[in-house]
Amino acid sequence: MKPKLYTEDTIAAIATPPGRGAIGVIKISGDLALSILKKIFRPFKPRNKFESHRLYYGFIVDPRDDKVIDEVLVCYMKKPKTYTREDVVEIYAHSGYYILKKILELVLIAGARPAEPGEFTLRAYLNGRIDLSQAEAIQELVSAKTETALNLALNTLLGKLSEKVTFLKNELMDILVLVESAIDFPEEDIEIMEPEKLFQKIKKKILPVIDDLIKNYEEGRIYKEGIRLVIAGKPNVGKSSLMNALLKEERAIVTPVPGTTRDFLEEEATIEGLPVKLIDTAGLRETEDIVEKIGVERAKKKFKEADLILFLVDVSAHPSEEDFRIYQEVKSFPHLVVLNKIDIHPNYLEEWKRELSKWKVEEFLEISVKENTNLDILCKKIFEKITSEKGAEVPEIVPNLRQKIALENAREYLLNALKELEKPNPLPELVAIEVRSAISNLSEIIGEVTTEDLLTQIFSTFCIGK
């Protein structure tokens, strides 16, 4: 049964992002799609019939005054061989805010209503073309920032996660049949439910698959969601210059005046294939400047959110009490000490090494942002720190957070089932409850068991027109 949020309305939306471009697309889905097209489209060669999945050239015309709006191509796609498994029409017009808005206005007047965010994909799910994990993968596909994230989303879209979940469900259904048979036929001479066999099957065949998927989330999350990399240090040690170097563009303002960065800057980059949010913080120092003081406090808050902090120091100056005080703020978080300005001579590099030894710093890296020295090594070191030196191996299937929580819940129910099966006289009723709960959580992953609130939450994150 389809949830209440599903309606039989015909929906329409602009399916391309706003802005100037060569082509803009208006998408229509529902039973009225073809009749709407006929009301506003004038084919170059007059025709009464439109064949499915063919392009037609002509003009969008306002039926109220017969005014031509745009020269277009249109495609009618007959259900069920469409994205939504409904009749679909796509109009390929010249891009431009006014043109697309005007065409959409005519489509709505002709009988459609505006689509909600993600409603086209929601209908694809509700009509059985994709399951819920595949629907979520479409959003991940659209928002992928690296090739690795793209491939992970594609694997889920192609059904690899669904295959794993379906395998687990089928194995548990076999167990549930045996357990419930023992409940229904307790007087049978033969033992229907063999606790030891069921125990071994759950422990050796089912739980390892669930454990691997949960582990994959922890290992692969960074490729999908990215990391937060904070650059910290006292003023004028080269934080903004390092950010610009990692971004490969002049984003942060660089001057010899201490305190130029008074608030944090955030920019997105890719380092060794990882999507990274780079955060350049205000120089950490004692200051009476109210604005700079606020920036310093915000910088310290960013430490707690970071996956890794680059603590930058300037070896062209002596180590100072201020450097030490900042390191005390940083050291309790994942961090890497970076010695900058090694190109300047004379410098105090050896003095810094002795000082770091006193601070019990075992790992540091020498760089020169200005001369681009060791920046490639720094990028590799960041990658190693984040991935715990696992290298570039990426799991084939990485659940999202919602799916991971469902897997953890299923695992907990199965562990409860194992505890019961270990008892001298396990109660099949209790085993059945735990196994059934595990199946229910697995079903949530692919959307066989779901709620209207969950669907609303998931699809509201999609863009309109998807």
CATH classification at residue 34: 3.30.1360.120
Mean per-residue pLDDT of the chain: 85
Q: Does residue 234 lie in a domain region?
A: yes
Q: Are residues 127 and 153 in the same domain?
A: no
Q: Are residues 345 and 421 in the same domain?
A: no
189 band by pLDDT with thresholds 50, 70 and 90: very low
* pLDDT confidence of residue 183: 80
Percent of the chain with pLDDT over 70: 87
Q: Which of 386, 411, 432 marks a domain boundary?
A: 386
Q: Does residue 392 lie in a domain region?
A: no
Q: Are residues 381 and 247 in the same domain?
A: yes
Distance separating alpha carbons of residues 234 and 318, to the nearest angstrom: 13
* pLDDT confidence of residue 71: 95
Tens digit of each residue's pLDDT (9 = 90 or more) over 247-292: 876 554 444 444 444 445 788 888 888 888 888 876 554 544 544 4
Q: Are residues 279 and 189 in the same domain?
A: no
Residue 25 belongs to domain spanning? 11-131
Q: Does residue 5 lie in a domain region?
A: no
271 forms bridges with which residues in the sheet? Answer: 274
Segment 420-445 shows an average pLDDT of 93
* pLDDT confidence of residue 178: 87
CATH number for 192: 1.20.120.430
Segment 344-356 shows an average pLDDT of 92
* pLDDT confidence of residue 395: 85
Lowest mean pLDDT among 29-43, 382-396, 445-459: 382-396
Segment 44-71 shows an average pLDDT of 92
Distance separating alpha carbons of residues 187 and 387, to the nearest angstrom: 56
Q: Does residue 391 lie in a domain region?
A: no
Q: How far is CA 260 from the centre of its chain?
A: 34
Lowest mean pLDDT among 173-182, 372-381, 415-424, 448-457: 448-457
Segment 27-47 shows an average pLDDT of 94
Tens digit of each residue's pLDDT (9 = 90 or more) over 110-164: 999 999 999 999 999 999 999 999 999 998 888 888 888 888 899 999 999 999 9
Segment 449-466 shows an average pLDDT of 76
Q: Are residues 94 and 182 in the same domain?
A: no
Residue type, 101: K
Q: Are residues 236 and 348 in the same domain?
A: yes
Distance separating alpha carbons of residues 242 and 231, to the nearest angstrom: 8
* pLDDT confidence of residue 185: 64
* pLDDT confidence of residue 18: 78
Q: Does residue 2 lie in a domain region?
A: no
Q: Are residues 266 and 231 in the same domain?
A: yes
Residue 190, pLDDT above cutoff 60: no
Range picked from 1-15, 215-229, 295-309, 434-448 for highest mean pLDDT:
434-448
Task: Characterise 434 by phi-psi region: left (phi > 0), alpha (psi -120 to 50), beta (else).
Answer: alpha
Handedness of CA 369, 374, 377, 378 (dihedral sign): negative
Closest CA to 341 of 307, 363, 367: 367
The larger pLDDT score, comparing residue 49 to residue 75, is at 75
Lowest mean pLDDT among 275-284, 347-356, 383-392: 383-392
CATH number for 335: 3.40.50.300
Segment 198-223 shows an average pLDDT of 91
Please provide the DSSP assignment of 231-272 as one string: EE-STTSSHHHHHHHHHTS--S---SSTT---S-EEEEEEET
Q: Are residues 362 and 438 in the same domain?
A: no
Q: Are residues 378 and 234 in the same domain?
A: yes
Q: Does residue 199 lie in a domain region?
A: yes
Total of domains in the chain: 3
Q: Are residues 253 and 211 in the same domain?
A: no
Q: Are residues 99 and 230 in the same domain?
A: no
Q: Rounded to 5 degrees, what angle do the CA atoms 335, 385, 266 make?
A: 60
How far from each other are the two terminal CA atoms of the chain, in whole angstroms? Answer: 23
- SS3 per residue for 57-123: EEEEEECCCCEEEEEEEEEEECCCCCCCCCCEEEEEEECCHHHHHHHHHHHHHCCCEECCCCHHHHH
Percent of the chain with pLDDT over 90: 54
State both tokens at 299.
Answer: 């910088």
Residue 314 has phi, psi (to 5 degrees) of -110, 110
* pLDDT confidence of residue 134: 92
Q: Are residues 218 and 234 in the same domain?
A: no
Q: Does residue 348 lie in a domain region?
A: yes
Q: Does residue 150 lie in a domain region?
A: yes
